[in-house]
Every structure is written in C-alpha cells, then in structure tokens.
Chains A and B, each alone.
Chain A
Amino acid sequence: MSNVVILCELKNGELVKQSLSAVKAGIDAAKATSGKSFLLVIGSGIDKAKEAAARFGADGVIAVDDASLAGYTAEAYASAAFEAIKTQSAGLVLATTSAFSKDLLPRLAVKLKAGMVSDILSIRTDGGKVSGFTRAMWAGSMIADVEASSEVVVATVRGTAFAHAEPVAAASPVTPVSVKIDQSTLRAKSLEIIEHKSSRPQLADASVVVSGGRGLKGPEGFKTIEQLADLFGAAIGASRAAVDAGWVPNDLQVGQTGKIVAPNLYIAVGISGAIQHLAGMKDSKTIVAINKDPDAPIFQIADYGLVADFAKAVPELVDEIKKVK
C-alpha cells in the first residue's frame, strides 16, 4: 500500500481546472493499490481552493496556507510541498504537466530522493502496486514503457491523457499543515508577472483550437483566423515558426516543446505539419487542415484537408459556417 499525493495548481487562490487530470490519475492509482489519495494545495489565503479540492472524493486534502507563500517560487513551494508530503507515507506524487509543475516537481523529487518521470500518459498497477508508466519520447514518435525503482516516484501527468476528476457528494476532510518559509533564505524572488490578457479560453481548456503557422505570413493573418476562432469560442494556437516570428505570444506554441492539446476540433491553417507540431495536437478528435500545398505533411493526419490559400478560404469558411450555425 502506498499513498498518492496530488499537488494542485492554484491561480488567484483558485484551483486550476487542468489539475483535475492529475487528480483523476492519482485517485484511480490509489484505489488500484489500496492506498489513500490526498490533494495538496499550497498558497496564501486559499480557502476557496481548499473547498474546491475537497469535492473530488480524495481521502483528504492537505492545505499549506501561509502568508509566506503568497506568490509562487519553485524554491519556496518545493519546501512547502516537501513538509506537507512528509506527513503522509506517499509513494507517488503527481501534478498535471504545466509550466508550474515542470518548474517545481524536479526540485521536490530531489527532496524526496525520488525518481522523476515527466508527462506520463498512463499508470500501470500490478498486484496492488504501481508498476510502471508510459510516456512519449522523440516528439511523440515513440512510446516508452518506464519503470521506477525508487521508494517514492514523482511524475507530471499529461492533461490530455486523463479525464478530469468529477465532483462527488461527500467532502474530503481538510488537514492543515503549518509551514513558514523564510523568504530571506531563498535567494529567489518573483518581481513581476506579465499576463497576456485575452478573452479567449486557455489552450488547455478549449474544445476548439484554431492554429496558424508561417503560411499566415504575418500578424494580419492571425486576425483572419481569429474570425474563425470567434465562431467557436476557440483558443488560438500557433506553430513554432509563427511564434519565433513574433506574430503571437510565446505561450501559444503548440507542439513538442510548447503546449500539448487534444480538443474536439483542431483547425491548422498554414501549418506544414512537422513532427514537433504534430506531437502537440495529433490526439485531437477532429483535425482540419487548410494549406495551399497539396503535399503538406499535415494532410497525412488531417481528417479533412482543404487545399487553398487561407486568405481566400478562411473568410469564405467563416461565411459558410455562419449560414449553417
């Protein structure tokens, strides 16, 4: 028997929805191994998150709520998480893959002397124990079966590979753990967060994503596909080439080294379909590609391919969809 701790990500004191993938993975793994599952929330003034975390049927919520944890740094949060996890005999520590967990979990793994496995796609259990994981390597061209030999294992969980945990009727008990971080010992300080204000959904949350690539020729091209995105309440994504060119913010990059998405509908416009891009979207339910080159590799995986110049096709598409919607 080993317990599972799931570290939840908070934003402005509230639970980030993507965390629910790790919550689901962790609660299921605990059940399969007759262990207990605990959700861990860390921050300052996080009553809302504590309440929210208590609704998913975990055996408990561990809350580290202290003024010294206002504002995230990996240094402070790794210490806080470690103190909290020590109170449980955790064999597995999980968090959904994100900039937050990628920054934090390797540090935490060292504190726990744990092996670290990134961006897992599945958890295998055998005879009441977690026996392995699968994860993608080489830009998703290979799936690796991975085993961990350490007593504690820390893993990030690919959001698109696990369903979100569903709320249940009974609330989990919340146990506070008191941790005070002496900021002066950290030698690290967050000076500023520069948020990209956008009325669109986050890439990870969106059920429709409209992405643009180098073929859009410039930021004006993105204006064109935004009209398409508006019809669906979609998130905007981009290829690396479009981001490198500075046409859209960096965090819109979809792919191996950007965001991994699997929406209900993914529309790729002016994107050739390099393996690094496909790594970030090929599990989408329906893929539409618009590209003027009939031989573009994106057509090999698209459900519906339209060979056309986007500048003509996209406005037409917007009009046609409006007619039938």
Chain B
Amino acid sequence: MKILVTVKRVSDPEAKLKIKPDGSWIQTEGVKFVVNPFDEIAVEEALRIKEKQTGEVVVVSIGDKVVTEQIRAALAMGGDRGIFVNYTGAYDSYDIANILQKIVEQEKPDVIVLGKQAVDDDMGAAGFMLAELLGYPQAAFASKVEITDDKKKARVTREIDGGLEVKEVELPCIITADLRLNTPRYASLPNIMKAKQKPIKEVTVDALGVAVKPRVTVKKLTEPPKRKGGVKVESVQDLVTKLKNEAKVI
C-alpha cells in the first residue's frame, strides 16, 4: 500500500510573531519553523497504516529549499522518501491542490493523508480541493482510521459538530487528520541520522505543468485590537457582586 502524506512548513505555534513594516506578511527572521502539527499527526497515521499493511510512505512538501527540513523531519519519523516541489512565491489552497493532483497522478498512492488545517493560515481547504480535483472520496477530521481487510476501503471515524460520524470511503481516498487521531512519535537519533540518507526528489511546478495563480491573496496584515484585562477580585462574594452590578450577567 502506498501512502502519500503532505507536510507544510509553518511557524512554531509558540512563536511570538511580528508583522513586516509594510504589512505584507509576518517577519520570518529568527522565527522557528516546524512541521504543521496536524501534518505530524498525518505522518504518524501514514506510518501506522504502512506498519499494518506494508508498503511505502511518500512525504511531499511545497515551498522553497528550506521546506526540505520538514521533509527530513517526516523521514526521520519513518517516511521512506520525499518529494520536494520547489516553488517560491505566494500560493493559495487551490494552487496546493493543483500541485498535489499532479504528484498523485504520478505516484498513484492508495491513501493520501493531510492535516485538517495548516495552523498558520487556518484555511483548511487544500485536502478537500485535492479530493475534488481527483474525483476521490474524502474523510475529513479523522479521529480513527481502519483499512478494511480486503484493502479496498477505509473506515474512518470523524469529528463532527455534536458527535462523531463513521464514514466508509473506497480507496484511493483523501483523509485529513484531526487532533485526536494519534500521538506522533518522536524521531530517535539513529532515525534522524538514517533520514539524511533517504532520497528526496526535487521537482519544479513548471516540470509538473502547473501554473501557480493564487485566486486568493493576502493584501495586508494587521494586529487585532488587544483585549484589555480587567481586575482581580478579592473573593467569591466580590466576584458575584461585580457580575451582578457591573457586568449585569446574573
């Protein structure tokens, strides 16, 4: 079974971010970058499927040269090989889906796992756009994935409003990972060393035949108004008095 998994390079969720003086984007100097946490979960799930089914895990990332760090991180977790799509510039989720479509057509994976959202832009669209482009079924927000014994379907428990849904999709399919799908493994030192030898193929968007033309672009970033803190109350009675008389919520 071949499993394709995507990793996006995003700023560390813990990082304190600043906007560039011209407002065009965040300042990236000195900011730590990591694998999108949801993509880490996706990599872990891909590895678990492989460990049960045998096969191969192929890791894809799109961006400039630095994203190979995130591919290596996924290879250190246990991915078999990487594909680095070299592209510098702005893109939107549709572009990512267009690029991934070409990769999928070349690689013909049985299962494609992505994060449910990238935690930098919180767009949450690339995976489902890819599914539609390919005409594949999708299982969004997965918290449990089982491949059926005949290896023809995936039975996915997914997180929906007010509960869970069990959805069955035929392979090949798209799965997007939610937080509770698994706990990603740490890469051991020997595996980090081993990952350095694993192959990463570089391709360009031109070679893939994709013209990147973002339909959606960020024009300007601003910081939202800061919410001002209020007061610390002295006691429970004090709190109740204030909630009743000031906030008027009781």
Contacts and interface: CB of A to CB of B under 8 A. Distances in A.
A194 B250 contact: no
Interface string A132-173: 100011111111111111100100000000000000000000
B13 A276 contact: yes
Contact of A192 (B38, B161, B166): B166
A128 interface: no
A188 B167 contact: yes
A316 B238 CA distance: 12
Interface residue range, chain A: 35 or more
Interface string B99-113: 000000000000000
Interface stretch (A30-38, A44-52, A216-224, A296-304): A296-304
Nearest to A108: B132
B224 A143 contact: yes
Nearest to A317: B236
A126 interface: no
Nearest to B125: A106
A325 interface: yes
A102 B237 CA distance: 43
Interface string B105-146: 000000000001101111111111101110011111101000
Contact of B180 (A244, A301, A305): A244
Grouping DSSP codes into helix (H, G, I), strand (E, B) and loop, the B interface class, with mixed when no group exceeds half, is: mixed
A97 B64 CA distance: 32
B243 interface: yes
B242 interface: yes
A227 interface: no
A86 interface: no
A230 interface: no
Contacts of B129: 106-107, 109-110, 116
B113 to A, nearest CB: 16
Given A251-B162, A301-B227, A116 B216 contact: yes
B97 interface: yes
Interface string B145-172: 0000000000100011111111111100
A240 B122 CA distance: 17
Interface in A275-325: 275-276, 282, 286-288, 294, 299-308, 313, 316-317, 320-321, 323-325
Interface stretch (A20-28, A56-64, A71-79): A71-79
A147 B122 contact: no
A149 B163 contact: no
A115 B215 contact: yes
A306 B13 contact: no
A265 B231 contact: no
A118 B214 CA distance: 15
A106 B161 CA distance: 18
B231 A304 contact: yes
A145 B138 contact: no
B155 A109 contact: no
A286 B247 contact: yes
A306 B236 contact: yes
A147 B219 contact: yes
Nearest to A314: B236
Given A251-B161, A288-B239, A325-B250, A257 B179 contact: yes
Contacts of B140: 74, 99, 102-103
Given A188-B138, A250-B143, A305 B132 contact: no
A317 B239 contact: yes
Given A149-B215, A305-B230, A256 B119 contact: yes
A142 B129 CA distance: 25
B9 to A, nearest CB: 14
A202 B162 CA distance: 8
B164 A145 contact: no
B238 to A, nearest CB: 8
A193 B164 contact: yes
A249 B161 CA distance: 11
Contacts of B160: 99-100, 193, 251
B250 A324 contact: yes
A249 B159 CA distance: 10
A75 B139 CA distance: 10
**Closest 8 A/B residue pairs (Cβ):** A115-B215, A188-B137, A303-B230, A106-B128, A110-B132, A187-B170, A150-B215, A106-B125
Given A143-B221, A251-B159, A286-B249, 13 more contacts: A100-B161, A104-B128, A106-B125, A107-B138, A137-B121, A144-B121, A149-B214, A193-B165, A208-B249, A257-B38, A257-B117, A288-B243, A307-B232
Interface of A: 73-75, 78, 98-100, 102-107, 109-111, 114-119, 132, 136-150, 153, 186-196, 202, 204, 208, 240, 243-244, 249-251, 253, 256-257, 264-265, 275-276, 282, 286-288, 294, 299-308, 313, 316-317, 320-321, 323-325
17 contacts: A100-B160, A107-B128, A110-B129, A116-B125, A117-B216, A188-B170, A189-B167, A189-B168, A194-B165, A256-B122, A286-B243, A288-B239, A304-B232, A304-B233, A306-B233, A321-B240, A324-B240
